[in-house]
């Protein structure tokens, strides 16, 4: 798995405008600019081919400079296929600088039965940085009874201090299906608001973190149900904490 090239997205602010100073394609993923408006930019993450197969090691590095608003768009979901004894990994390293804001609505990440996948998401925020991230993990396609093994870890730090650390370890099917973990459900959708804390949690899916952040999460049998359950939180947080308006007309 060594030698894979990470995809890179680096957005900097030069004067009042965004400069996408690095949009390098990686072995598995190519970033494509969708548009720039003032200090706000949108970038699509396009898969180089059918993802992920045994031995694949997808990596990406996202850097949002000071005062930049960046949205990452995934036009299609990722499907991890039966690894037939091999393993695949997916890793994102994200840095958001002071005054920067990242909006990343990930497409569903489907782990089919037999796929052995490790996902790692690392997010580092500095100063007044914010990130709004949405992920949907699906165990098995709709006609399969389950998927994986999957292990998905998330580590978020704000100014070097831990904000959220999670290790969703579904490698043991007994534990994955146990009541309290997923309890036989296939889908986990989470919206993470990081670097900002709403006044209160709204609805049963939301919780405030100890530090500056909140999380909205749903465990459900189907992706549309899980996504619908957190849709309100996503929209409210996006409007309240990750609005590009102030960035688009920056000079």
**173 lies in the site for other proteins, by CB under 8 A:** no
Q: What angle do CA 202, 151, 30 make, to 5 degrees?
A: 85
Residues belonging to the chain: 251
Which of 22, 166, 243, 248 touches other proteins (CB under 8 A)? 166
Q: Which of residues 144-163 bind other proteins (CB under 8 A)?
A: 153, 156, 161-163
**175 lies in the site for other proteins, by CB under 8 A:** yes
Q: DSSP letter at 185?
A: -
Contact call for residues 192 and 159 (beta carbons, < 8 A)? no
CA distance 199 to 197: 6
Q: How far is the CB of 165 from other proteins (least distance, A)?
A: 4
**48 lies in the site for other proteins, by CB under 8 A:** no
Q: Alpha-carbon torsion 101, 195, 122, 67, what sign?
A: positive
Q: What would the x/- binding string for other proteins be over residues 185 to 214, using CB under 8 A?
A: x--x------------x--xxxxxxxx---
CA distance 146 to 158: 35
Segment interacting with other proteins (CB under 8 A) among 70-78, 85-93, 139-147, 173-181: 173-181
Q: Two tokens at 37?
A: 């408006």
Cβ closest to other proteins, residue 85 vs residue 179:
179
The residues of the shown chain that bind other proteins, judged by CB under 8 A, are 153, 156, 161-169, 175, 178-183, 185, 188, 201, 204-211, 215, 217-219
């Amino acid at each position: 798995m060594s030698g894979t090239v990470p995809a890179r997205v680096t957005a900097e602010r030069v004067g009042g405008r965004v400069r996408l100073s690095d949009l390098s394609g990686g072995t598995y993923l190519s970033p494509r600019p969708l548009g720039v408006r003032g200090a706000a930019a949108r970038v699509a993450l396009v898969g180089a081919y059918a993802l992920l197969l045994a031995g694949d090691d997808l990596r990406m590095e996202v850097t949002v400079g000071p005062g930049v608003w960046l949205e990452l768009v995934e036009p299609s979901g990722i499907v991890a296929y039966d690894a037939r004894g091999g393993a695949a990994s997916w890793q994102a390293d994200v840095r958001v600088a002071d005054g920067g804001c990242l909006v990343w609505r990930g497409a569903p990440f489907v782990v089919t039965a037999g796929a052995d996948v490790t996902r790692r998401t690392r997010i580092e925020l500095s100063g007044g940085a914010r990130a709004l991230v949405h992920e949907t993990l699906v165990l098995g396609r709709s006609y399969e009874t389950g998927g994986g093994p999957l292990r998905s870890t998330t580590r978020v730090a704000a100014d070097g201090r831990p904000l959220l650390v999670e290790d969703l370890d579904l490698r043991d099917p007994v534990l994955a299906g146990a009541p309290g973990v997923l309890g036989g459900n296939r889908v986990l959708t989470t919206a993470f608001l990081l670097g900002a804390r709403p006044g209160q949690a709204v609805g049963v899916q939301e919780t405030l973190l100890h530090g500056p952040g909140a999380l909205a999460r749903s465990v459900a049998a189907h992706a549309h149900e899980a996504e619908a359950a957190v849709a309100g939180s996503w929209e409210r947080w996006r409007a309240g904490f990750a609005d590009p308006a102030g960035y688009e007309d920056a000079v």
